[in-house]
Structures are given as C-alpha cells and as structure tokens.
Amino acid sequence: MTQATYNGVLNLAAGAFLLAAVLIVWRRELRSIVALLAWQGIALAAIPLTEGIYQHDAALIVVGVVVLLLRAVALPLLLARAVGTEPGERRESTPLVNTTTSLLITAGLTILAYAVTRPIIALDPSPSTRAVPAAFAVILIAVFVMVSRRRALSQAVGFMMLDNGIAATAFLITAGVPLIVELGASLDVLFAVLVLGLLTGHMRRTFGGTDLDQLRELRG
Amino acid sequence: MSFLLLVPIAAPLAAAALAAVLGWRRLTSSVTVAAALSVLVSAVILSFNNRSQVRFGILNLFRTDALSITMLIVIGTVGTLATVASIGYIDAELAHGHTDAKGANLYGVLVPIFLAAMASAVLANNIGVMWVAIEATTVATAFLVGHRRTRAALEATWKYVVICSVGIALAFLGTVLLYFASLHAGASSGDALNIDVLLAHASRLDPAVTRLGAGLLLLGYGAKAGLVPFHTWLADAHSQAPAPVSALMSGVLLSVAFYALLRVKSVVDLAVGTGFLRTGLIIVGLLTLLIAASLLLVQTDFKRMLAYSSMENMGLVAVAAAAGTKLAIAALLLHVLAHGIAKSLVFLGSGQLQAAHDSTQISDVTGVLARSPMIGATFLVGLAILLGLPPFAMFASELSISRALAGAGLGWVLGAALLLVVVAFAALVRNGARMLLGPPAPGSPAIAVPRSVSAALVTGVILSLVLGLTVGPLLELFQTAASVLGGNR
Amino acid sequence: MSTTTGLAALATLLQVVAVVAAAPLLVGGMRQVRARLEGRAGGGIGQPWRDLRKLLRKQQITPAGTTVVFGFAPAVVAGTTLLIAAILPLIALGSPLDPAADLFGVVGLLFLGTVALTLAGLDTGTAFGGMGSSREITIAALVEPTIVLAVFALSIPGHSANLAAIVSATADHPGQLVSPGSLLAFVALAIVIIAETGRLPVDNPSTHLELTMIHEAMVLEYSGPKLALVEWASGMRLTVLLGLIANLFLPWGIAGADPSMLAILIGLVAISVKIALLAGVLATVEIFIAKLRYFRIPELLAGSFLLALLAVTASYFFATPTN
C-alpha cells in the first residue's frame, strides 16, 4: 500500500465516519438510525485495518476485525432487536431540538472540534493524526444527540456513537492503547448495550413505552 | 509482600464466586463479610510495613503507597459495616416479600464484585487499569441500584447508567490523550500509563494536550464522584438503591472516583503547573456545593437528602483538593474516612425507617428517638458527624480544610464554601430534628432492626467516636499520603 | 489570466447566444423526458418556444397599483442571468470578463435576480405574491451560503476563487474528484441547485395549486411579453446552473484560455452534451420523488449547508502531502 493510498483511504474512512454521525442527527426513524450506526462501525473498523495493512502489524488487523464484528454487526443487531415491532415505536417523537437547528448546531460543533484538537495535530502532524478532528467532532455530536433525544433507544445510539468516536480517536492518535484498556473499553460498550437493551425491555413492560419523558417521578 | 497486595482484590472475588455458586445464604454472606474485613486487615498490615515506601506488583500494574493504603482502609471499614448490615437487611426483605431469591442472589454476587473493583482501582499503578476498575464499579452497581424493580428504581438505574457511562467514556478519552502525550514525552508503549513513569516524564509532557486530557478526566471522573455538571444521577441512584448499597456508594465509591482525580492531579500539576486543575476544581467544587445546598433546602425525601449531603461533601473535598497543600490533602483524607462511616450510619438507619414506613418522605417519619433508641441514637450520631460537630472527626477535618484554604490564599473560596456549608447545615438540622425529636405521630409503625444491622450501627458509632477523639496513628499515614501526591507546603 | 484573443471573446459571445437559444429547448426536453417516462405523448421539445412566441404576441397588462419594481424585475432577472452566462467558463476558459469570474460575483448576481423577482411578488400586493416571496427568500437565505461554501471547498486545492482557475485545476488533477471534500461539495451543490431553480422536491414547476407554489406564486400576475421574459429567464438560470455544476465536476472538453476555432466547437458540443445529460437525469429522478412539505425544506437545506461546511473542512484539513 502506498503512502498516497493510505492517506486517501484514511481520509475517506474518517469522512464517512463523520458523515454517518451527521446523518444520524438528520434522520428520525429508529431503524435508519441503527442502520447508520452499523455503517459508522464499518468506517471505524477501516481505520485500524488500514493502519495494520500499511504498517504490516498483524495485531492491529486482528483488532480491526474484532471492532468490525462488534460495532458493525453485533451491537447494531442487539439494538435493532430492541427497536420493537409496533409501528408506533419505530418513529422518533419530535426531538427536543428541531432538525434544522440540530443540523446548524452540528455545524458549530464540527468547527469547535477542529479548534480544540489543534494541539494534538501540532504535537504529531502525521496523516492519521490529521483525521482526529473528525473523530472529535463525532464525540461532540454524540453528546448532543444524547442530550436532545427523547426515546431511550436514540440515547443508546448516541452513547454507541460516543464510544465509536472515542475508539476512533484512540486508533488515530496512538494506533490503539494497551490491550487491557482496549478490552475494558469493549466490555464497557457491550455492557452498556446489554443493560440499555434490558432496561428498555423493562421500561416497555413497566411504563408501556420507551418515551423518556415518562421518567419523571424523581425530581428535585 | 505482593501477596498482601492481591488479598484485597482476590478475597472479595472469591466471595463473589462462592455466592454465584451457592446463592444467598448465611454462609456466603458471612464469607463476604470476611472478605471485606480482610481488605481492612491487609490495609492495616500494609500500613505498618510499607507506609512510607512505594511497592509494585504484578508487572508494575499495581502499587501500594500511603495513599492507596488510606483508601483501602476506607473501603475496608465501610465495606465491613455494609456487608454486616446486608445480612439482616436482605433477610428482612426476603421475609417481607420485597425481593425474591433471584434478587438476593444477584445482590450477594454483585456486592463483593463491587468491593473488588474498588480495591483494584485504588491499588492500580497503571491509570488504564484504574479506568477499567472504575468502569467495573459502574457495571456492578447498575443492577444493584435497580434491586427493587419499582418504576422509580428503573428510572434511577437508567439515569445512572447513561450519565456514568458518558462520564466514563470521557475519562477514557482523557486517558488516551495522556497516553498520547506520554508516548511523545519518551515513555515506552508498554508502561506509558504507569503512574511512576508518568511522574518521571511529567516535565516533558506536551502542555496543551495534557490540559485537554486533564479537563476531560476532570469531567469524566467528576461524573462518577457526583460533581457538577454530571451530577444529576446521584440523588436518584443513592435514594433508590438498597440501604447498604447506598452506604457503600455514598461512603466509598464517590471517594474512590475522587481518588482517581487526585492521582491524575499529581501528574498534571507537574506537567502544566498547579493553576489549571486548581481553577477547574474550584469552579466545579463551588458549583457542586451551591447546587447541593440549594436542593437540600427543598428536600422532602430523607434518602435524597442524605444523597445531596454526600454531594455537598464531595464539593468540599474538591475545593480542598484545589488548595493542594499537605494540610489540605491530609484533611481531605480524614474527611473522606469520617464521611464514609457517617454515611453508613445514616443510610443503614434510613433503610430500617424505609422498611418500617414503606415510604421515604420526611413528613411521614416522626419521633424516631422515642420509638427506637437504637435507630434514633445512631442516626443522631451520624447526623452530628455530618454536621461537623465536635468531638467527631469531621469537625477537625473541616477546620483543617479551612486553615489550608486560608493558607493557600483562597480566602474568597473559603468564604463561599463556608456560606454554602452553613446553608446545608441548617437544612440537615431542620429535617433531622423533624424526624428524630419530639413525640411520634399516633399510629406510627414499629421500627424493626435486624441484629446484624444493629451490630453494624453500634460498631460504626464506636469507630467514629474513636476516630473523633484521636486520629492517632492514622495522622502519620495521611501526611505521608499527602506528600506522595506532591503537596509541598 | 492571459490577454484575451478575439477567439476567446467569440467563445464568450457564443456562450451567451447558446444559452439564450437553448434554454427553452432544455425545459422542453426535460418535460418531454418526463412525459415519455410517464407514458404520455408530451408536447414535443419545441413546445416552450411555441409558448414564448404566443406570449410575445399577447397584450401587456400591468396590475393597478404596481410600481417600476414590478415592471423592471423581469429585465433584471434576465440581465443578471445573461451576465452569469457570459462570466461562467462554459465553452472556454479565458473570457474577457475573466477577472470578474469570481465565485462571490456569480453568487451575488444570482441573488440579485432572486431578490428582484421577490420584490416584484411583494409589489403586486396580493396574498399569493407575498406568500411566494416570503417562501423564496427563506430558501434563498439557506441556499446562498451553501453555494459559496461548496464552491469554496472546491477552490481550496487550487488556492483561487476564480471559477476558471477551479475548473482548470480539476481538469489537471482528476484524482481530487474522489476526495471527501469534492464528494460532499457535489451533493451539497446538487441540492442547492435543485432548490435555487425550483425543481422537485423543493418546488413543483408544473403545479396549478397556488398554496403549494413557491416560484410560480411570485409571477402569478405577469402576462404577455413580461411573462415570456420571466419564463425564459428561469429556463436560462437552469441552463447556466447545470452548466456550472457540469464544468466544476466534469471539466473535460472545455476549451483552453487561448482557444482555436475547433476547440471552441468541441467545447460547445461538450457542454451541450453534459447539460443535456444532467437535465435528463434530473427529469428522470423527479418522477420518483414527491414534493417536500414546505416546513421540511429548511431541514433539507440546513443539511446541505452542513455538508458544504464539512466539504470545506475536509478539503482544508485533509491536505494531501502534495499541498
């Protein structure tokens, strides 16, 4: 793999990663959001895979395959099962911030991400580090999504996006962190999805729906 | 001696494995108590041998120094009190049908795992391992918070999981950034996250990247410690969890999360100077105090009141850490220990009140001192400690914190903090008096107190009296711990 | 740029004449494609020309109470569009107006035309005119910044906002077309051109229901020759904008700065083919889309604005080592 191809593929992966996040903010149907999350997982897995192939590092390639299976296949499947089958459940109720404003806020967050990550690029101006602003932007967008959605599952998707963004940052600036930490991070994600999926099931049985606005008993 | 290092982690894990196999019964719950006690005992032994040295174990991933020994003592003490009380509490819940065998088994397995995770966090030398351990505590406590399966418990669990997971994720990002900075300061990739390596390379860490990482770690671990802005889970989770778990979470878990911040602070202060985290901690600490004090004024639920009191104390601890002097850190550690014991007393007592009245509203509970001397007296003692009254230890710790703040030139911070603490004081006194003093309302139910809960309560009172009257050998331990963190004034 | 030769000036003149002549044919062609795909016979490609001829022979009626704004607006729209047709590098790169062929100049001229028609709609004092004008300006507010950002994203690799420079830079380095910046800019530009020219899914040009109209509502009161001018101008706008996007992303065939007669002819044929192709694709896609409800349009346009912004950042920060 040549340097130019490596740069190009890395840029495309980071760009697709950010684009998936933008589309998650744009779309409102739960099924399409979960599908976009799967696409984002593929873009995420492309980063360690590309770096592994370019640097002939087998460990990175293995990590990339694991990430692909976990975040592009297993977790979106779990979330899709939790989406439920009633048509009323599929569509997101009006988010707290309307779509036009959300998109404009996303634009602002992207610019903020570029500003905030300048010291990182200054410390290590390599092609992979230059893509970090995209990953950071996804992190900020994910926090915004979690704050501005009403359905429990949309919040879960937002959390997964946050984890994807952090994993992307870790892969881009350091080619992964020590194995034990990576393991802990993956367990964290798995746990979060399991718990959130379980809780959503409980919620549906107890509250008759997963609209988070119904969680209003504990106040003050 | 690395065997002693393993005991605090291995013993609770073994108890958890036993409980997983055998379920909830007298044997397994007693083994859990023994495990918690072993944490305390090994901490005490370690303090005799190692308090002034730093020792490493298991691939340099773990360490013991005065600070981790101090935290182990806190975990061991509160852990023992809580596990002893759990025996009676869960048996009573099973008898009254508030939980089933499956719930009790889950409880029996998760609590020792929780203790093991906290022990790993304070014994970790590698901040990546520390992160994994703290994340494990979130995993263990999530289902413990939802133990009662009511609507409110479910809501509390959701908020807890979501907010703490976000916090932990941000802390992970901060850890990654520190790793990145450490690699570029010359550390090798295998141990770039070890605390001793980070301290050695601190002067070469890139300041801007370190600041970014430190900010994220402050936000992330601050979320687990109940600091603003990710504090909204605290009152819900601590009020809905079963009483011994609330005691553990309020008394120890918040402090363990803050311990993580202290470790990071020692590295960051060397890299970018003390100003950055000092400002951050002051802002976060004062805001936490403000919100906790304000919400304490309008409380109608006594368990939430106690949770906000924990939040207020963590705000005070943050402000003390901002001062950063040796006196401040030593006082902070004493405060953490005393707070842990005090919260155990009040939460265990409130657990019995909730079991008797089937409600946690302050207005429903009157004349506790008259109805049950055991619960009334111990609750009174616990409140007295929390209010910072002499002769208990929190009087001394709060006084020392004030002196430290004044000495560090943070007089205005001291003034603001004192004002807010006074507000909290007034709120606690008012609600406590309403609940404890005076004649009981007619028709109030009898308060049953299982034997193990009384044993825990009495032990707690004795411990706090001893701690208040003489800090004794612990003083030297606290001061060594403070110098480990780099406090130099 | 280099001194213009007589042939370059001829190329520019040819551009303007071709746009004037071909605009109604383009509209007719699109309608014919749609008709055929929908199974109708259609009116033929020359129908818009016949309509224009009919309108030119009719009596000019001006509503009572309108001012010179109403009177001059069609001329302003047509004039600005002709000027854009002269400036853009459609057939050849080196036009006499080249120093003014700046991105901001073109966007400004487009906006001038939009504003003129909007004011004319308000000038009539009718409810539908006002409604059409307010809708048109809402869309324009989101469209203009997006066009600027999208073309700016394309200009970053070439370091110049001059349109001819952008086109020649893309022609020299075709690999840039698959960079994230260019792809995002393409999607954003496509969406805003659809919005600017009033095609589906933003506006239905063949609707007869006034409440669903945007562009048509503004021109409801025009009749006779002025209406002919307005229709012609919108056809020319469509031609010119399609030509812009064609040459920004598929610049092959365009004549150089110092063209020969043959190169000019090749350029003419090339741009005609490209515009016809794009128009055909647009017409086909329109069959499958429904019109968006009006309150959803700002969402779409905000999304395209965001894509254009991302295109700028992608081009700026994912700088390849050759930069």
ipTM of the shown complex: 0.88
The confidence score (pLDDT) of residue C2 equals 46
The confidence score (pLDDT) of residue B363 equals 85
Check B169 against A166: CB less than 8 A apart: yes
Cβ within 8 Å of residue B416, ≥6 positions away = B286, B289
Residue A188, chain B, CB below 8 Å: the answer is yes
Check A220 against B304: CB less than 8 A apart: yes
What count of CB pairs under 8 Å joins A to B?
124
Residue B295, chain A, CB below 8 Å: the answer is yes
Mutation site, A140, A153, A166, interface B, largest B CB count within 10 A = A166
Contact residues, chain A, for C299 at CB < 8 Å = 26, 98-100, 103
Mean predicted confidence (pLDDT) in B143-148:
86
Q: How far is CA B87 from CA B24, B29, B251, in A?
A: 9, 6, 19
Cβ within 8 Å of residue B293, ≥6 positions away = B312, B420, B421, B423, B424, B427
Q: For residue A159, give the amino acid letter.
A: F
Instruction: Report which DSSP code applies to B98.
Output: S
Q: For residue B140, give the amino acid letter.
A: A
Evaluate whether C237 touches C78 at the Cβ level (below 8 Å). Answer: no
Whether A90 shows a pLDDT value over 60: the answer reads no
Token pair 């749609």 in the structure block, residue: C34
Evaluate whether B456 touches B382 at the Cβ level (below 8 Å). Answer: no
Q: Angle, nearest 10°, between helix axes B411-436 and B373-387?
A: 170
- Report the residue of chain A nearest B194, measured CA to CA: A178
More confident residue, C29 or A129: C29
B323 C-beta neighbours (distance < 10 Å), count: 28
The confidence score (pLDDT) of residue C58 equals 93
Spatial separation of the C-alpha atoms in residues B216 and B206, rounded to whole Å: 16
Percentage with pLDDT > 70 across chain B: 97
pLDDT, tens only, A6-55: 888 888 888 889 999 999 998 888 888 889 999 999 999 998 888 888 88
- Report the residue of chain B nearest A184, measured CA to CA: B132
In order along its 323 residues, chain C shows pLDDT tens digits of 444 567 778 888 888 999 999 999 999 999 999 999 989 998 889 999 999 999 999 998 888 888 999 999 999 999 999 999 988 888 877 777 777 767 888 889 999 999 999 999 999 888 988 999 999 999 998 899 999 999 888 888 777 778 888 888 888 877 777 777 888 889 999 999 999 888 888 888 888 887 888 888 888 889 899 999 999 999 999 999 999 999 888 888 787 777 788 888 888 888 899 999 999 999 998 888 888 888 888 889 999 999 999 888 888 766 543 33
Spatial separation of the C-alpha atoms in residues B245 and B447, rounded to whole Å: 20
The confidence score (pLDDT) of residue C319 equals 52
Contact residues, chain B, for A178 at CB < 8 Å = 126, 128, 189-190, 193
Contact residues, chain A, for B189 at CB < 8 Å = 178
Provide the whole-model pTM.
0.84
Q: How far is CA A64 from CA A52, A67, A68, A89, B361, in A?
A: 8, 5, 6, 34, 53
Whether B198 shows a pLDDT value over 50: the answer reads yes
Residue C232, chain A, CB below 8 Å: the answer is no
B and C adjacent (3 or more CB pairs under 8 angstroms): no
The confidence score (pLDDT) of residue B117 equals 93
- Report the residue of chain C nearest A24, measured CA to CA: C303
- Report the residue of chain C nearest A108, measured CA to CA: C306
Whether B450 shows a pLDDT value over 60: the answer reads yes
Note down the domain range covering A64. Answer: 3-214
Measured over the CA atoms of residue A89, residue A95, residue A98 and residue A101, the dihedral's sign is negative
Instruction: Report which DSSP code applies to B486.
Output: T
Check A100 against C313: CB less than 8 A apart: no
Spatial separation of the C-alpha atoms in residues B37 and B76, rounded to whole Å: 6
Residue B141, chain A, CB below 8 Å: the answer is no
| Domain membership flag for residue A69 | yes
| Domain membership flag for residue A75 | yes
pLDDT, tens only, B43-100: 888 888 766 666 676 667 788 888 888 999 999 999 999 999 999 998 888 888 888 8
Q: For residue B45, give the amino acid letter.
A: I
The confidence score (pLDDT) of residue C322 equals 37
B388 three-state secondary structure: coil
The confidence score (pLDDT) of residue C80 equals 94
| Domain membership flag for residue A220 | no
Band (A177; pLDDT cuts 50, 70, 90): low
Identify the CA nearest to B349 among candidates B376, B325, B331, B326.
B376
Question: Which 165-184 residues of chain B touch chain A by CB within 8 A?
Answer: 165-166, 168-169, 172-173, 175-177, 179-181, 183-184
Residue C256, chain A, CB below 8 Å: the answer is no
Of the partner residues A11, A18, A131, the one whose CB lies closest to the CB of residue C179: A11
Mean predicted confidence (pLDDT) in B209-220:
93
Spatial separation of the C-alpha atoms in residues B270 and B204, rounded to whole Å: 10
pLDDT, tens only, B289-343: 999 999 999 989 999 999 999 999 999 999 999 988 888 999 999 999 999 999 9
Residue A170, chain B, CB below 8 Å: the answer is yes
Contact residues, chain A, for C145 at CB < 8 Å = none
Residue A48, chain C, CB below 8 Å: the answer is no
The confidence score (pLDDT) of residue C134 equals 92
Mutation site, C184, C310, C323, interface A, largest A CB count within 10 A = C310
- Report the residue of chain A nearest C306, measured CA to CA: A107
Question: Which 158-217 residues of chain C touch chain A by CB within 8 A?
Answer: 178-180, 183-184
Question: Which 120-139 residues of chain B touch chain A by CB within 8 A?
Answer: 126, 128-129, 131-132, 135-136, 139
Cβ within 8 Å of residue A198, ≥6 positions away = none
SS (H, E, C) chain C: CCCCCHHHHHHHHHHHHHHHHHHHHHHHHHHHHHHHHCCCCCCCCCHHHHHHHHHHCCCCCCCCCCCHHHHHHHHHHHHHHHHHHHHCCCCECCCCCHHHCEHHHHHHHHHHHHHHHHHHHHHCCCHHHHHHHHHHHHHHHHHHHHHHHHHHHHHCCCCCCEHHHHHHHHHHCHHHHHCHHHHHHHHHHHHHHHHHCCCCCCCCCCCCCHHHCCHHHHCCCCCHHHHHHHHHHHHHHHHHHHHHHHHHHCCCCCECCCCCHHHHHHHHHHHHHHHHHHHHHHHHHHHHCCCCCHHHHHHHHHHHHHHHHHHHHHHHHCCCCCC
Whether B171 shows a pLDDT value over 60: the answer reads yes
The confidence score (pLDDT) of residue B139 equals 84
The distance of C123 to chain A (nearest Cα, Å) reads 30
The distance of B403 to chain A (nearest Cα, Å) reads 34
More confident residue, C44 or A212: C44
Contact residues, chain C, for A107 at CB < 8 Å = 305-306, 309
Contact residues, chain C, for A18 at CB < 8 Å = 310
Q: For residue A27, give the amino acid letter.
A: R
Q: Which residues of C138-177 are buried (b: 16+ CB within 10 A; e: fewer)?
A: ebbebbbbbbbbbbbbbbbbbeebbbbbbbbbbbeeeebb
Residue B151, chain A, CB below 8 Å: the answer is yes
Question: Which 293-322 residues of chain C touch chain A by CB within 8 A?
Answer: 298-299, 302-303, 305-307, 309-310, 313-314, 317-321
Whether B487 shows a pLDDT value over 90: the answer reads no
| Domain membership flag for residue A80 | yes
Spatial separation of the C-alpha atoms in residues B242 and B441, rounded to whole Å: 26
A23 C-beta neighbours (distance < 10 Å), count: 17
Check B162 against A181: CB less than 8 A apart: no
The confidence score (pLDDT) of residue A93 equals 60
Domain count for chain A: 1
The confidence score (pLDDT) of residue C320 equals 45
Give strand pairing partners of B303.
none
Domain ranges for chain B: 2-484
